[in-house]
Chain A
Amino acid sequence: MPGKSYQNSIILFALCLFFLLATGCEEQQNSKTNNVPGKTHTEKLKLGLITEQDIFSQKKRYEPLAAYLSRKIDATIELSILSRYGNIIDNFVANGLDAAFFGSFTGALAIRKLEVLPLARPEYLDGTSTYYGMIFVRKDSGIHNAADMRGKRFAFVDKATTAGWLLPMHYFAENGIEDYYTYFSETYFTGTHEDAIYDVLNGKADIGAAKNTVFSRLAQTDSKVQEQLQILATSPVVPANALAVRKDLGESLKLKLKNALLQMDQDVEGRQVLHEFGARRFIPTTDNDYAPVFDYAYKIGLDLTTYDYNNE
């Protein structure tokens, strides 16, 4: 019957349409699921960060890297930023951190105190994988040497930093400043390298100490940094902030993490993340790379195993 075949055709057409739509929806849903950035993984990795710059900027800087590594090692990486450099040592165990991007000094402390294993550190866009500390003043401050510093205000970064603490301590020792508490009218810890630089630039402090990488980064966006600040002393070069993991982290995860970092520059997505991070690639890092820090600490008479890094 023509009527019946017509009805059958309509039903068939409706079924095809439904099938196509359902398939389309399913595919769309699948594609959506695959694109979810915060995909849950079976393993979790808690990663600590120190405050090179303000808490929020630092966290934002590491978020794309954490997301990339999560996808590569198939583990959820959770970032935990600490308000102080020294906290990272205290909280590494207390907060159950699995890994952290340690500064050179905190890295050396962690190797000694926590026996963490450094895996990799960034090689910056200019090809260096190290940094050094700087003591600086405003050009118009009239401060040219240690003698001029008497009675001035000194802005350190943290007692657990090479640039923001070890360098000034070494400078003081070299220039006969035995008790900086009495030598300066005020000393304090800004907590971040960025704040130490800006405090001197803005006249909140007379002398400051910070790392050259942060100084260069700020100078690129703010010409006053280069124009109005004068560098009085620098430290030897030390390894850049490296990723180190707790000693008992699973070998497989450790290897995956190391490989993911070292092979980042070999894929497009990795290169994009590296570029945003401000690095060219990650290079392997071992305890030996921290030798300059140990030497530097030794020179100023610090015993890292007993060193109290808490700011006064």
Chain B
Amino acid sequence: MSVRGLAGLAVFVAALLVPALGSRFYTFLANDVIIWALFATSLNLLVGYTGLVSFGHAAYFGVGAYVTGILMKKLAVPFVLAWPAAGVVGAACALVFGFFCVRLTRIYFAMLTLAFAQIVWAICFKWNELTGGEQGMPEIPYPDFGWIERIGASVPLLGGWRTAEYFYFLCTVLVAASLWALHRIVTSPFGRMLTTIRENAERAEFIGVNVQRYELAAFVLAGTFAGLAGGLFGIFNRGVFPDFAYWTKSSEVLIMTLLGGMGTFFGPSIGALVLILLNQQIVSYTEYWPLVLGTVLVVLLFGFPGGLAGAVGALSGRLLRRVRSA
């Protein structure tokens, strides 16, 4: 196993240990972070790997949240089916919207993704019967953890956790699996082709690649994983609201991606971690969170253009060189 693989495994194990710290708040924070990490990584498949800037990625997150939420709350469908459904419907929406979007370039592409996302938001906001309108759909049930508690009664460590903690373990495993799948995708020949398209779409076209088809495939995959993240988030959040699909959510996830660094696979996850922790700390002291966030972004832009992951990478590179030369 490579060093990176080991590092990933270490993070995964560390994440699993969070509830053992005994603080419900840390578990809450960690759960928030890992779901946003998946959401941001799914966006990075578009922004970082394919070079397509989406202003409307929250649409698929929102759709996923509603799909899982409606299935579990209104139709009592078990999580095992309701969660994958979020990915399937997210993918379907991404296929329809993406079909139109990938025919556009750059800022027009971004604006069309925004338009579709806002239409999704408006539907969620207005369709009272299905989505609960702007009041959203509270009280999404947790998945059934009765079986694990029954097993846990005889196996040490497995039993005796709170429902929210079981859900956190579940999220950690599912997010890790999703990230692993995403990593496989970006390192596959398909993923490398996406990078080629980002670097030079004309050349890719020239060597006979159907660029739009590749872009659409990336769009659908990104929508799938955003939908899966949304499906988890609705349950974690104890409710699904139309603002999940609003453009401010799209900008939030884009900021995470850029903050962490879109050039690396784990950059967006780091961005999610940093942004959520920073928000946590700042709002305890001041209501002027936007001011602080804006300042942080400006400093980052001028100080660390590669994002946090890029900054860490550069720093460790420099340290390594120094160690070697010494």
A pairs with B = no
